[in-house]
A and B are shown apart, each in its own frame.
Chain A
Amino acid sequence: MNIQDNYLKNKKNIFFSENKDIQTHREKLINIFENDRFDKKNNESLKNINLKNFIDFNYKYLIPEETSVINNNHENSYSIVSVNGQCSSFKDDKIEITKILDEDYNDFSKNDTIENNDHFVNLNSLFLNSGFKIVIKKNNNIKIRISNIITDDDLTIFQKNNYICEDGSSLNLIEEYENKNNSTSNILNVIKLEKNSQINHFLIQDNSPNHNLIITTHSSCKKDSTYIQKVYNFSEGYVRNFHYSELIEANSEADLQGIFFLKDNNTSNNKTFVKHLAEDCKSNQVYKGILKDRSKATYFSNTHVDQVAQKTEGYQLSKGILLSDNASYFSKPELKIYADDVKCSHGSTIGPIDENAIFYLRSRGMSKIAATKILISSFINEELNSIDNEQMSEIIQKKLVRYLSKVK
């Protein structure tokens, strides 16, 4: 079934189908699909993807029977269970959680930074069927933990979430994706940081082999705000992590980091993009990957420095370890710089585990496997040590041990 038919057939189940403006926008998107026909050659975001799964899919969505739960565990700490991408409304003097509304749609979809040719974002806009909006009120310090649960097999979830962190507040956000069924989630997070706010965003991804996760974030930072994102991808199924950050006012900072562990025939596509649109901003993009068996990964990073963005510091680092002859890693660290008073750099390495280091450990009496495991752990140690949440660090250590147990 082509995309247009699919859309028309399921129109009544999709959000905002009655809104005329949104409808015209969606017609435009359909046109883009028709004209482009998912031309892989000219669209790097489609590299290594088995497109058939995503173009020719059976749309299926169930509205959750049980409404999700929001617990105010103890002061300033909330845990949310989002079921099939939906979440019940909640309000107190610190946060407010609602469903997404028509007027939020523009924030999501008519954004220049998220490129027009990102088909997965467009698909998300077209088939939108779930999502929520969280507002952190001024000068609060909040912790939120979200577990994403999908109830049935073969669901297609197109979800949009909106986070707004108001002036002077800070948010510690942990998102967990641990699904064991065969469904597809396509999620777009739009995050707004007002003046002097901070978000620490952790994403833990650990899905079963037949679960596809496509996650896109777009964050925009106003004056003196900081957005830190850390992605830990242990999934056995396909994961796409595309994260865009815009530094729109002075002295803001974006830090996009990720680690991924791939095995078997798995594929992962990653992209980070930071756009410096104001002075004195800093950005950091660091991705590290370990690839085993026949796995494949791509990582695109991009720093764009506008002409007005003087005194910018923008750094990129990409590192990959290939553990097998059949694994492949593609990286494209890009710099686009239009201002002269900047410090920007990128570094990229791909290779095997250092043989000398293995030799050193083996000469101390270690087995080859043990040595390999130690060196893999040390490769990502910096990222693991930087987790200041004990509970989180425990979860991630466990998953790492599980991955390492299969290294031979």
Chain B
Amino acid sequence: MNSETLNTLNSYSKNKYKYGFVTEIDDEKPKKGLNEDTIKFISLKKNEPEWMLDWRLKAYSKWKKMKEPKWANLSFPEIDYQDIYYYSAPKGFEKKPKDLSEVDPKLIETYNKLGIPLEEQKVLAGVAVDVVFDSVSVATTYKGELEKLGIIFCSIGEAIQKHPDLIKKYLGSVIPPGDHSFSALNSAVFTDGSFVYIPESVKCPMELSTYFRINAENTGQFERTLIIADKGSYVSYLEGCTAPKRDDNQLHAANVELIALEDAEIKYSTVQNWYPGDEDGKGGIYNFVTKRGLCAGKNSKISWTQVETGSAITWKYPSCILKGDNSIGEFYSVAITNNFQQADTGTKMTHIGKNTKSKIISKGISLGKSQNTYRGEVSFLRKADKARNYTQCDSLLVGNQCGAHTVPYIDSKNNSAVIEHEASTSKINEDQLYYCRQRGLSHEEAVSLIVNGFCKQVLQELPMEFAVEAQKLVSISLEGSVG
């Protein structure tokens, strides 16, 4: 490798986090630590009915008996669950503001710094935003228009108050609280998140979007998202994350449940760019996310798209349970790790019904001293006749101190099902670089171009609004000066 290449790589690996700033807003918190009182405090603060508190306490008692799952190729210091605040809500937010003018101007400023024009969005983009700043929903736009169609889009707290039947029926039905220790933890202490219900035969006219943002120091964020698409409906949901710069590790354990009934389709897109820690691997978010979708009805479809560039630790496996006949599961992922980041991400496709299909495209890019692992399971159960899976996972290594790993689990119990899996690992092709340079691109531009091309298959799956941002993020993640 020539010295120029090395210089470029070095400048890439020194890229600083652009969104590192802290908004000072008074916090109202319970004491640190996790016990039954904490859970009662959260439940009380959210005005929850008793059945919800019972549900949380049950999950907590399960969590106490569980250990963290150990399969992932990650190393991090043990998490001290008693040294974390489990609830943090900006003051005075128990009564929700009616419109944006009532929202704390500092908060608006934060979003503006991030380049999310909340006010503009209201007018222009046609995107309804349910912003989660720390743990309480701040503003919900376009509610009226959605209401006309019968679509429910609100915070999960509100849904517990207003739609208890739906919550009782579906919450925890895809990810049981006892599934593993992080799902139990989330079930016990979740504070906010989004709830979406699309009624029968309704196509949601706009992309629903939530910006999550971790702000208060030492506050674990435990969102809970539940999306239900009733028969014949369609919804596309966007989730994007950036977090301010911090030195302490912040724990994040979200649960996302999707349910698609007959002929319904859910498209869930994520851009995750939380603080990944500095060049020496200090600080950064610990991101332990459980995402699972259930294709409950015939001909249903769930599609996950994710761009993962942030977090010190990423532990994330958006999965699909393909229960209904002819249902389809898709997973598109780009994971970029730099410095000392560690990512162990992938998916799980469980084929239960007949003629079920799944497709997995995963692109991993490792830079600096990071470790990037794809871990995925595809299983065909006995009754999954004529099921079909295609998996492709490619890794790109930039620099010789990082690692790229692929760990697929493939299990077939049906003789009419077909599985194909392929994976490759390589570095950036010198010939391609040379070609780009020859056409007058700088070295950095060339690398950025090649990497963007490498990810294109996944990025093109994102909705328009996100695709632009995601492309920028990919460049920024690589950047010393590109971008």
Contact = CB atoms under 8 A, between A and B. Distances in A.
Interface of A: 307, 310, 320, 322-352
A235 B168 CA distance: 54
Contact of B415 (A325, A335, A337, A344): A325
A335 B400 contact: no
A342 to B, nearest CB: 6
Nearest to A331: B410
Given A325-B382, A341-B400, A343-B426, A350 B405 contact: no
A350 B419 contact: yes
27 contacts: A310-B400, A320-B412, A323-B415, A325-B414, A325-B415, A330-B409, A331-B411, A334-B408, A335-B404, A335-B406, A335-B407, A337-B397, A337-B425, A341-B400, A341-B427, A344-B426, A345-B425, A346-B421, A346-B423, A347-B420, A348-B420, A349-B419, A350-B412, A350-B418, A351-B412, A351-B416, A351-B417
Contacts of A338: 402-403
A328 B413 contact: yes
A331 B406 CA distance: 13
B398 interface: yes
Contacts of B417: 350-352
Interface residues of B, number: 34
Contacts of B418: 349-352
A327 B415 contact: yes
Interface string B361-378: 000000000000000000
Given A350-B417, A350-B418, 6 more contacts: A331-B411, A335-B423, A340-B400, A347-B421, A349-B421, A352-B418
A336 B415 contact: no
Given A327-B415, A346-B423, A337 B410 contact: no
B410 A307 contact: no
B414 to A, nearest CB: 7
A335 B395 CA distance: 10
A348 B395 contact: no
Interface of B: 1, 382, 395, 397-427
Contact of A340 (B407, B411, B427): B427
A231 B424 CA distance: 26
A336 B403 contact: yes
Nearest to A325: B415
Top 3 closest A-B pairs, CB basis?
Answer: A351-B418, A322-B415, A340-B397
B422 A347 contact: yes
Contacts, number: 113
B399 A340 contact: yes
Contacts of A339: 397, 400
A222 B122 CA distance: 68
A310 B412 CA distance: 35
- Looking at chain A's contact residues, the main secondary structure is strand
Contacts of B399: 340
B419 A351 contact: yes
A337 B405 contact: yes
Contact of B410 (A310, A326, A335, A350): A350
A333 B407 CA distance: 7
Contact of B421 (A323, A324, A327, A348): A348
B404 A337 contact: yes
Contacts of A334: 405-408
Contact of B416 (A330, A333, A346, A352): A352
A341 B420 CA distance: 26
Contacts of B415: 322-325, 327, 352
A331 B418 CA distance: 13
A332 B419 contact: no
A314 to B, nearest CB: 9
Given A322-B412, A349-B420, A349-B421, A335 B401 contact: no
Nearest to A330: B411
A245 to B, nearest CB: 19
B425 A307 contact: no
B398 A340 contact: yes
A345 B421 CA distance: 10
A351 B415 CA distance: 6
A365 to B, nearest CB: 25
A137 to B, nearest CB: 40
Contact of A344 (B398, B402, B408, B425): B425
A344 B425 CA distance: 5
B414 A322 contact: yes
Contacts of A307: 400-401
Contacts of A325: 382, 414-415
Contacts of A345: 422-425
B425 A342 contact: yes
Contacts of A342: 397, 425-427
A346 B414 contact: no
Contacts of B406: 333-335, 346
Contacts of A333: 406, 408, 410, 421, 423
Contacts of B1: 341
A329 B382 CA distance: 12
Contacts of B414: 322, 325
B274 to A, nearest CB: 26
Contacts of B405: 334-337
